[in-house]
Amino acid sequence: MTESTALGAEDQKIVTLARSARARNAVAEGAAVRDETGRTYVAGTVALASLELSALRTAVAMAVASGAESLEAAAVVSGAEELPAEDLAAVRDLGGAGTPVFLAGPDGQVRAQLQAG
């Protein structure tokens, strides 16, 4: 999958939210996840001297802290060509092995659809 227009409306929404978080916060990555009730959680990269988290792990942590019991999908907007295994593991831990993770470039175009497992 290379075009974001191939996504359903709800998946396109989380890509757009991830892109917005990246731009708004001027960070390396933006991410958004959608939980089992349709709620979304949006985050950017955390880069503090004492704490570093990818945008996706931060979004998953926000979902867990808010009481989410599962994930339906996740999206990351980044200049990276691939995601670290730790990011996919965080999605798998909450959403299960089949949870789709959309990796989009800074222009919002989805370059890959990955599976959390």
CATH number at residue 38: 3.40.140.10
pLDDT at 5 over 50: no
47-63 pLDDT tens trace = 999 999 999 999 999 99
Q: Is 34 exposed, middle or buried (0-12, 13-18, 19+ CB in 10 A)?
A: buried
pTM of full prediction above 0.85: yes
Give per-residue pLDDT as tens, 97-106.
999 999 999 9
Q: How many CB atoms lie within 10 A of CB 55?
A: 27
Q: What is the pLDDT of residue 3?
A: 42
When comparing pLDDT for 72 and 6, which is higher? 72
Tell me the mean pLDDT in the region 16-27: 96
pLDDT at residue number 58: 98
pLDDT in tens, 25-50: 999 999 999 999 999 999 999 999 99
Segments forming the whole domain that contains residue 19: 4-115
Compute the mean pLDDT over every residue in the chain, rounded to the nearest whole number. 94
Domain total of the chain: 1
**DSSP one-letter string for 98-112:** T-EEEEE-TTS-EEE
